[in-house]
Structure 1
Amino acid sequence: MKNTTKAYLAITLQSLIIGFSFLFVKIALRNADTISLLAHRFTLAALCICIYRFFNPGKIIVKRVDWLKIIPFSFAYPISFFLFQTLGLKIISSSEAGIVQAIAPILTLIAARIILKEQIKNLQKVFILISVSGVVYINVLNGFNLSNYSYFGFLFIFMSATSFAIYNVLTKKLSKDYSVFSIVYVMSITGCIVFNLISIFLHIINGNISSYFEPFSEPSFVWAIVYLGVISSLLTSLLSTYALGKLEATKVGLFSNVSTVVTILAGTVFLHESLYYYHYVGIVAILAGTIGFNLFKLPQKDISK
């Protein structure tokens, strides 16, 4: 199997996992606040990658100088991405946030063009717009009320989308010097430390530090956090980092819209949510744009060789 084929399979699997993750986030939030959820999520991710390193020391070799080089990338993802997303969702609705988050592929395209000098054809730009339009269309008809719009909420979600775009582009550069496991190892531990410090600080301020571990008394939370920490955080980071080493950053960034399709379908099947005509229209646009974009090769050599 070619490296590019493996990369497409990796990024497709990542989109499926992220799409289902929203179901588990809803379950986990019944017993924990958002920041605590992030803390527990990345604690488990860091623990698993550390266990892997213990049994496979040759796979992850990270020196002090490597930490200094990789840590700055961690502040784009997961730290800035999740923190700004959390702040934004406290102000605006998920539908409004979804519209802003949909521009992440466009931001990735711009960043990749400036930093990586990636080239794409004009028709590919059209397909990106079609895919993004599908996400925007679904979220607008889901309930977008401009009169209640908060510009601070917009700013936070925009910064989250920007962080995701920067992560895609810079991780591609980083993957030339470090293995997939080494990059994810540093990112997972950094996310674990930062989110736990914030969570513990907030618990101390609110005078309820004893409630930090309370969510683990609920079996549903435990199962949800295992999915979010091991599969949705750790595994997807490995998959996306691998894909970024084989594919253009713009292609990987565009696949984030496919997660929207998975989330909608998962909500319909497992949560019995209604599926309306605009969902079908948006899904077709998202898939058509993503598939159409990837059918056209960039005017450059295959970077996987």
Structure 2
Amino acid sequence: MQEMKREELSSKARKLTYSLAVLNAVVIGLSFLLVKMTLQYAAPLDTLTYRFAAAFVIMIFPVGFRLVKLHYRGKRLHLLLLLASFYPVGYFMLQTCGLQYATSAEGGIISAFTPVATMTLASLFLKEAITLLQKLFILLSTAGVSFIFVMKGSSLDLSQTTGIVLLILACLVFAGYSVLARVVTREFSPTEISCFMVGTAFLSLLVYSLTTHSISGTVDAFFAPLANGTFLALIFCLGAIQLVTALLANYILSKIEASKMSVFANLSTVVSIAAGAIFLQETITWYHLFGSALIIAGVIGSNVSMNKIRSQPRIQPQRFE
């Protein structure tokens, strides 16, 4: 009876985790729309800096008023620092620099392989059991994202090797974050991890942006967007989204395998396509629909196949008396 209750609770917790993973992908997908709008007012790196600045400001209030309690004393902070250096600092730095030498479409194609990289690293370092069927579904989801970008007339221009190498490194760094987070969540709560990540990213990006603008003599251009009310509203929305998605991602990674979490990220591509069609009147073609179907089938299949294996009754060893 107790085992049945534990299995029921486990099933409910698993459903909640999957629901949050879908919600996280939806929020990230919608955030692409806001990012596109902010680029009308500021450069990509400046927008990213302000985005984490807003997340940091929003975070200060619950922490300052003791609504959220953080316990870092006596814990291995170097793990958090390593995690934050992977994501968001390392990932966004590599991605932003990579997109200066490569197209956004190339970035989309390469980022689609993040679940594959995560699956490989999780298998090597965390010894996560990944079945052949699950691997095939993850590859199917990856193929869906790549198919959309390729059909849009995009391909990898190998002559742009600098950008491609940086984007591949960004992909590997994010995969490393997903794997390392599984270890870090055993010692730190999702809130502690998220607050540390946001604070580290804000300080790192602020120093980098101010240094870059100071060298090029464009400090005024960095602060200019702050005079625009629309930009401020968009940035605070993105800051809130950044904080929420960080909390969701770290919570999800504390509950399910890194390989399963990473494949949900491809759903954000589907959401961003739908958001672009609804709010920006962007055209949706047959290959958008076909690619989206592959992505969704891959996400569902990779998780259902694993759940079926878990739900199989275990064979009890026979007793010989």
Identify whether the pair has TM-score above 0.5, normalized to the shorter chain. Answer: yes
**Could you report, residue by residue, the CA deviation over 1:77-135 in whole angstroms, capped at 9, with x for unpaired residues?**
00111111111111111111111110000000011101111001111111111110000
TM-aligned CA distance change 1:149 to 1:135, over 3 Å: farther
What amino acid maps onto 1:90 in structure 2?
Q
Larger mean CA deviation between 157-166 and 139-148 belongs to: 139-148
In the other structure, the counterpart of 1:221 is: 231
> Which among 270, 278, 287 is matched to residue 296 of structure 2?
287
Output the CA distance in 1 between the equivalents of 2:164 and 2:223.
33
Report the count of equivalent residues: 300
Aligned pair partner of 1:19 in 10, 17, 29: 29
- For 1:36, give the aligned amino acid: D
One-letter code aligned to 1:92 = A
Matches for 1:128-277 after TM superposition, within 5 Å: 128-146=138-156, 149-231=159-241, 233-277=242-286
Q: 1:198 to 1:114 in 2, by over 3 A?
A: same
Asked if the contact 1:27/1:220 (under 8 Å) is kept, the reply is no
Inter-partner Cα distance in structure 1 for 2:124 and 2:257: 13
Of residues 34, 54, 68, the one that matches 1:44 is 54
With 66-75 and 197-206 compared, the bigger mean Cα shift is at: 66-75
Give 1:63 shift: 2.7
Conservation of the 8 A alpha-carbon contact between 2:134 and 2:302: yes
Residues 134, 283 of structure 1: 8 Å contact kept: yes
Task: Find the aligned partners of 1:159 and 1:189 in 2 and give their Cα distance.
Answer: 23
The one-letter code of the counterpart of 1:142 is: K
Q: Name whichever of 49-58 and 175-184 sits farther off.
A: 49-58
Deviations 1:36-79 (A, max 9, x none): 11111111112222222122366311237543331111011001
Structure 1 gaps, min length 5: none
Equivalent position amino acid for 1:230 in 2? A
Secondary structure, in 3 states, of the residue corresponding to 1:297? helix
Q: Distance in 2 between matches of 1:42 and 1:181?
A: 16
RMSD: 1.7
- The 1-side partners of 2:191 and 2:230 are apart by 29
Segments of structure 2 that go 5 or more residues without pairing to the other structure are: 1-8, 312-321
Query: Equivalents in 2 of 1:14, 1:223: separation in Å?
Result: 21
Cα gap change, 1:149 to 1:255, in 2 (>3 Å): farther
Mapping of residues 74-89 of structure 1, within 5 Å: 74-89=84-99
What does the per-residue CA deviation read over 1:246-270, in whole Å, with 9 as the maximum and x for residues that have no partner? 1111110001100000011111111
Percent of aligned pairs with the same residue?
A: 34
Relative distance call for 1:61 and 1:124 in structure 2 (3 A) is: same
| Residues 1:63 and 1:255: Cα distance change in structure 2 (over 3 Å) | same
**Are residue 122 (structure 1) and residue 132 (structure 2) matched?**
yes
Residue 9 of structure 1 is matched in structure 2 by 19
Q: Which amino acid aligns with 2:218?
A: N
175 and 95 in structure 1: CA distance in 2 versus 1, 3 angstrom threshold: same
Tell me which structure has the larger Cα radius of gyration. Answer: 2
The 1:117–1:300 alpha-carbon spacing in structure 2 relative to 1, beyond 3 Å, is farther
Q: Distance in 2 between matches of 1:149 and 1:281?
A: 30
Matches within 5 A, 1:22-37: 22-37=32-47
> Is the contact between residue 92 and residue 149 of structure 1 (CA under 8 Å) also seen in structure 2?
no
TM-score, normalised with respect to structure 1: 0.93
The alpha-carbon deviation at position 208 of structure 1 amounts to: 2.5
